């Protein structure tokens, strides 16, 4: 399980250090893709395969399902952790997540998210103000996909 929040910088070549605690769960090779809310999602290969199986069940006759699957998979790439614990984030993913210098890396149960520090701060502030309200709404929510 992934948890915690870490702040790191992206170097001029687009490399980002992944904290050791998160690397343990991700492994030396993992999948990085466009996430939701303007961040990147990182999945261990096993979790990615499970997610892929769930996405295969979406009805391909629905345009919104096709659009989501196209977007999700077209942004996906394999990431290899180097000897210094860094990954190279491709330019298209850095652009999507507006990653320039400061990045926030968070553990979110089955995945790791990589955020631009400024976008994360804005998102966190907004979510914090409605945290209790959100908790009340989802208390009886049935967990699925």
Distance between CA atoms of residues 142 and 145, nearest Å: 10
- What number is the average pLDDT over the span 92-112? 97
Please report the DSSP string for 42-89 in residue order.
EEEHHHHHHHHHHHHTS-TTSHHHHHHHHHHHHT-EEEE--TTSEEEP
Query: Is the pLDDT assigned to residue 127 strictly greater than 90?
Result: no
Query: Is the pLDDT assigned to residue 134 strictly greater than 90?
Result: no
Q: What is the pLDDT of residue 145?
A: 40
Global pTM? 0.90
| Domains within the chain, CATH numbers bracketed | 5-138 (3.40.1550.20)
Query: Is the pLDDT assigned to residue 103 strictly greater than 80?
Result: yes
């Amino acid at each position: 399980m992934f948890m915690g929040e870490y702040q790191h910088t992206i170097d001029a070549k687009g490399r980002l250090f992944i904290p050791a605690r998160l690397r343990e769960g991700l492994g030396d090779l993992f999948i990085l893709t466009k996430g939701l809310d303007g961040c990147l999602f990182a999945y261990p290969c096993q979790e990615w395969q499970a997610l892929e199986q769930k996405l295969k069940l979406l009805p391909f006759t629905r345009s919104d399902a096709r659009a989501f699957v196209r977007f999700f998979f077209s942004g996906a790439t394999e990431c290899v952790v180097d000897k210094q614990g860094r990954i190279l984030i491709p330019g298209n993913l850095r652009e999507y997540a507006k990653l320039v210098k400061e990045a926030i890396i968070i553990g979110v149960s089955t995945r790791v998210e990589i955020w631009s520090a400024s976008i994360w701060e804005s998102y966190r502030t907004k979510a914090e103000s409605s945290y209790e309200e959100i908790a009340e709404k989802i208390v009886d929510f049935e967990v699925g996909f």
